[in-house]
Amino acid sequence: MEIASTGYPATLTVETPPKIANWRPLVQWFLAIPHYIVLNVLGIVSGVVAIISWFAILITGKLPEGLASFQALYLRYSNRTYAYAGFLVEPYPPFTFGTVTADPGDYPGVRTDVVPEYENRNRVTVFFRLFLLIPQIVVLYILQIVASIVWFISLFVVLFTGSWNDGMRNLVLGYMRWSLRVGAYGTLLTDEYPPFSLD
């Protein structure tokens, strides 16, 4: 089943197979550990790139393409890692680091596309970006707790039935889409404020 987000400059599509091997919830989180290590390193670099982007936009009013491409790579890698570790997809994610904003399509089942704003950036909202993120972070934190509980319950659902419950999958993917949009806004890829929505 395909779940996609539309209408925001950062979109996520996840194609969850109707049947998942029952053993996968027990091991995929463990097999994803190398990706979590890489993701942590990318996250540190992403934080530095966000600071550099902040100064670049405030000074020039533009977001350098190379900085935007790295942030897109980080967000894409995050979604791939979480989708695999959370047994939403079966293929193992590749260790690829293509710095392009559009998903190159080299990982079947998970697609993350970002359309950065390079020119004519809103310096005021960029300057106050951390403050503007506070409401989103609060809601996302609460949603993360709910999604984590649902993910844990889904482990047993998939373990015994071999498939995701539609409502549970939609909530988890809704959380991932919301997180992606907040990530794109927080890493200064766009000035469009993320909607408070799971869609």
**Residue boundaries of the structural domains of the chain:** 2-186
Q: How far apart are CA 177 and CA 198, in angstroms?
A: 7
What are the C-alpha distances in Å from 27 to residues 31, 85, 86, 94, 154?
6, 8, 10, 17, 14
- Predicted TM-score (pTM) of this structure: 0.92
pLDDT of residue 6: 56
Q: Which residue has the tokens 């190398």?
A: 34
Mean pLDDT calculated for residue range 178-192: 97
Mean pLDDT calculated for residue range 96-105: 86
Give the pLDDT confidence of 60-80 residue by residue, as tens digits: 999 999 999 999 999 999 999
Give the pLDDT confidence of 1-57 residue by residue, as tens digits: 444 445 899 999 999 999 999 999 999 999 999 999 999 999 999 999 999 999 999
Structure tokens at 78: 């995050």
Q: How far apart are CA 21 and CA 38, in angstroms?
A: 26
